[in-house]
Amino acid sequence: MQDHQNKIINFEYAPSIESIDIVNIQPKNKLFIDGKFVEPTSKKYFASINPATGETLAQIADANAKDVDLAVKAARKAYTKTWSKLSGKERGRYLFRIARMIQERARELAVLETLDNGKPIKESRDIDIPLVAAHFFYYAGWADKLDYAVPGKEIKSLGVVGQIIPWNFPLLMAAWKIAPALACGNTVVLKPAETTSLSCLLLAQIFQDAGLPDGVVNIVTGAGETGAAIVNHPDINKIAFTGSTDVGRIIQKAVAHTDKKLTLELGGKSAHIIYEDAAIEQAVEGVINGIYFNQGHVCCAGSRLLLEESIAEMFVGKLKSRMEKLRVGNPLDKNTDIGAINSAGEYGKIKKLIESGIAEGGEYFEPSIQIPTKGYFQKPCFFNKVSSAFSLSRVEVFGPVLTISTFRTAQEAIMKANDTQYGLAAGVWSEKGSKIHKTAAALKAGVIWANTYNKFDPSSPFGGFNESGFGREGGRHGLFPYLSIK
């Protein structure tokens, strides 16, 4: 009997590795300025690694303030001479073409994203890249309908926008930024995160192939200093940033004395509330998806689980057995659920936070699954029976780490959920619609999912409150930050 059970539990999956033959990674990757790939004036390059192996994938150009200035000049010229002169219909045509070309090259983009970022191929293939194309399609549709987006108002494009994005969804964040900016008639200088530049540079090739006029989108690679050069450039009209709350603060200070528009999409510590009358099996799956999707490198991750006391023990038991079946490993394997932590730095940070949680006395659980010894891999885990004062209930870990607390009444659940300096997202599970509505209305978060989690759609606005930032991306609301509305 014991043997038989073990066989079922330890059912092995035959590896199913996605081929990497489709991608052609250049050893040296230049900057994309004014429609061409150009050497950085510094002549300096830095390495981008594959976090699943620790091996170097390619060298990436390090743009300095002079390169950023060249990119801004190209964007300004393109804005004045071509892009702002096109009709919305013509801009839309380019965006539709780009969206179709992204679909045509979807597999190549997915494999490259997985190699450079470490996320499982099933996520880059089925979530990231389809959403990238969907964003371009969605905003392509708005380009000639902007007058209907804000009826009765006079609207105008802003000019040159500077965009700085993180490494957790490299190409998707680029799409969230570039598609609405171009639809509204602006031109762009974008900086990808230093650990994940490659997919953005492939997107630049797609822009070239689509015949997008030179200078409409410029991509400058580099780290914080390159980002700061964008933020501080005097000829930029708007900054859009997604990343850490700390850097968000620096950026807000830097633009405070200017007339630059600003949107910030920052961190989160989102609550995931499970009432006793929830569909339990689905809710377990929802919690897994909420926190372990993309290794937990998700700003809106459901990182604080709040369970109704009457079901807590049973729910935690089910969660544990589900976690014993999660497959952590080679991101290129189509069976993999959890891939590699994006960088040595993030890996070290997560490890340290877990250790601090254990030292603080949190009831720690990790499954007994095997994980690779090479590369940066972290087992999914949680801290059970913690209070709101527990450090990991408050700090954004940005990794596969969950905290679990209980509540007895809806009022207590809401109070605990709102007890955070953030306000990005939340999830509520109950089979009773009125309970969901009542709870959702009382939660202070930008996005609230009911009986699901981490679902994204380009037509739905996304953004936060408090230290999670301000401004919305996606949907009709996502147009407003890229327009002057009078």
Least distance between Mg ion and beta carbon 54 (Å) = 10
Which one of the spans 101-109, 161-169, 278-286, 474-482 is the region binding ligand NAI (CB under 6 A)? 161-169
Near Mg ion by CB under 5 A: residue from 62, 116, 123, 214: 116
Least distance between Mg ion and beta carbon 196 (Å) = 5
Near ligand NAI by CB under 6 A: residue from 140, 184, 266, 386: 266
Q: Enter the tokens of residue 106.
A: 């979807």
Please say which residue, 49 or 247, places its beta carbon nearer to ligand NAI: 247
Single out the residue of 61, 57, 8 nearest to residue 33, CA to CA: 61
Q: How big is the site for ligand NAI, counted in residues (CB under 6 A)? A: 26
Which residue has tokens 């976090």?
A: 51
By CB under 5 A, the residues from 186 to 215 that bind Mg ion are: 195
Least distance between ligand NAI and beta carbon 29 (Å) = 16
x/- contact string, 1-20, with Mg ion (CB under 5 A)? --------------------
> Alpha-carbon distance 438 to 414, whole Å?
10
Which one of the spans 4-12, 131-139, 163-171, 354-362 is the region binding ligand NAI (CB under 6 A)? 163-171
Please say which residue, 186 or 196, places its beta carbon nearer to ligand NAI: 196
The option from Mg ion, ligand NAI, none interacting with 134 (CB < 5 to 8 A, set by class) reads: none
Residues designated catalytic: 265, 299
292 in Cβ contact with 326 (< 8 Å): yes
247: contact with ligand NAI by CB under 6 A: yes
Which one of the spans 101-109, 199-207, 238-246, 302-310 is the region binding ligand NAI (CB under 6 A)? 238-246
The option from Mg ion, ligand NAI, none interacting with 116 (CB < 5 to 8 A, set by class) reads: Mg ion
- CA distances to 121, 217, 253, 401 from 354, in Å: 26, 40, 32, 8
CA-based angle 52:57:59, to the nearest 5? Answer: 140
349: contact with ligand NAI by CB under 6 A: yes
x/- contact string, 419-448, with ligand NAI (CB under 6 A)? ------------------------------
Near ligand NAI by CB under 6 A: residue from 51, 162, 215, 243: 243
Instruction: Point out the residue whose Cβ comes nearest to ligand NAI.
Output: 227
x/- contact string, 174-213, with ligand NAI (CB under 6 A)? -----------------x-xx-------------------
124: contact with Mg ion by CB under 5 A: no
71: contact with ligand NAI by CB under 6 A: no
Least distance between ligand NAI and beta carbon 134 (Å) = 19
The option from Mg ion, ligand NAI, none interacting with 54 (CB < 5 to 8 A, set by class) reads: none
467: contact with ligand NAI by CB under 6 A: no
The option from Mg ion, ligand NAI, none interacting with 48 (CB < 5 to 8 A, set by class) reads: Mg ion
Q: What is the largest CA-CA distance in the chain?
A: 76
323 in Cβ contact with 367 (< 8 Å): yes
CB under 8 Å, gap of 24 or more: what pairs does 362-369 form? 362/386, 362/390, 362/392, 362/403, 365/320, 365/323, 366/323, 367/320, 367/323, 367/324, 367/326, 368/324, 369/323, 369/324, 369/326, 369/327, 369/328
> Alpha-carbon distance 236 to 223, whole Å?
19
429 in Cβ contact with 275 (< 8 Å): yes
Near ligand NAI by CB under 6 A: residue from 67, 123, 128, 346: 346
- CA distances to 204, 376, 410, 425 from 131, in Å: 18, 26, 34, 19
Which one of the spans 45-53, 268-276, 319-327, 454-462 is the region binding Mg ion (CB under 5 A)? 45-53
The option from ligand NAI, Mg ion, none interacting with 191 (CB < 5 to 8 A, set by class) reads: ligand NAI
> Alpha-carbon distance 32 to 242, whole Å?
21
Single out the residue of 304, 402, 301, 399 nearest to residue 352, CA to CA: 399
Near Mg ion by CB under 5 A: residue from 18, 31, 45, 48: 48
Binding residues for ligand NAI (CB under 6 A): 164-168, 191, 193-194, 223-224, 227-228, 231, 242-244, 247, 250-251, 266-267, 299, 346, 349, 396, 398
Binding residues for Mg ion (CB under 5 A): 48, 116, 195
